[in-house]
Structure 1
Amino acid sequence: MTAIAVADQLQHELESHGITADVVNGYGLAVVSVWHGLLVWTNGDLFWWRTGWNDRRDRPVFASHSTADPNRAARRIAARYWDLRSAPDGL
């Protein structure tokens, strides 16, 4: 499937968790904008998103999930979304 098609599927799955997201497409990739600091990228095969920061290596930490299972990916992303929403600074 194309990146935009799987991004649209993820957007639909996130709606079932009460999360509204936007989809942007271009250059063979698609981005699902979920929340400030929570962008989910896809190339059609994988979803990936930032989950934190590694102070020791001074770089972000990412999680990924196969696009073959957008429902489970949406559950994982929804968990991250609710963690970010409940953080004192909203980030």
Structure 2
Amino acid sequence: MTRRPVTARAARSLHAAERLRAALHQLGIATDVHAGYDLALISVWVDLIVWSDGRLYWWWSGRKARRSGRWIYVIHSVDNPDAAARRVAVRYAHLQQIHPLSGMVQEIAS
């Protein structure tokens, strides 16, 4: 299998994702970071994946446009990952109410 060379854009994306991961960790939110094809993503919870291209973070707001039905995204600059993390944490708290861990997963995690 041939590996793709790491581009500057891919490195910026991963760096931005790691900064957001660290900010979310400070808020007590565990995440996973994945990178590839010049993008990085931070997997936070069911229906909450934050994407980064090294310039911006974006994630689904949970809402759809009235007319088109398209998903509406929240966009935040990577310049302030702490502020982005606080915004993600609000969505995370809402989603935890909608999609709580199952009893079995809670038992394993404790």
Give the TM-score of the pair, scaled to structure 2. 0.76
Matches within 5 A, 1:30-41: 30-41=40-51
d(CA) in 1 for partners of 2:46, 2:66? 21
Q: Provide the rounded CA distance (Å) in 1 between the counterparts of 2:42 and 2:66.
A: 26
Match of 1:57 in 2: 68
Identity %: 39
* d(CA) in 2 for partners of 1:76, 1:58: 23
| Equivalent runs, 1:12-91 vs 2, <5 Å | 12-52=22-62, 53-87=64-98, 90=99
Which consecutive residues of structure 1, in runs of 5 or more, have no partner in the other structure?
A: none
Query: Quick check: which one's strand share is greater?
Result: 1
RMSD: 1.4
Alignment-mate amino acid for residue 44 of structure 2: V
> Which 5+ residue runs of structure 2 have no aligned equivalent?
1-10, 101-110
> Larger Cα Rg: Structure 1 or Structure 2?
2
Q: Secondary structure of 2:54's partner?
A: coil
How many pairs does the alignment contain?
Answer: 89
TM-score by length of 1: 0.92
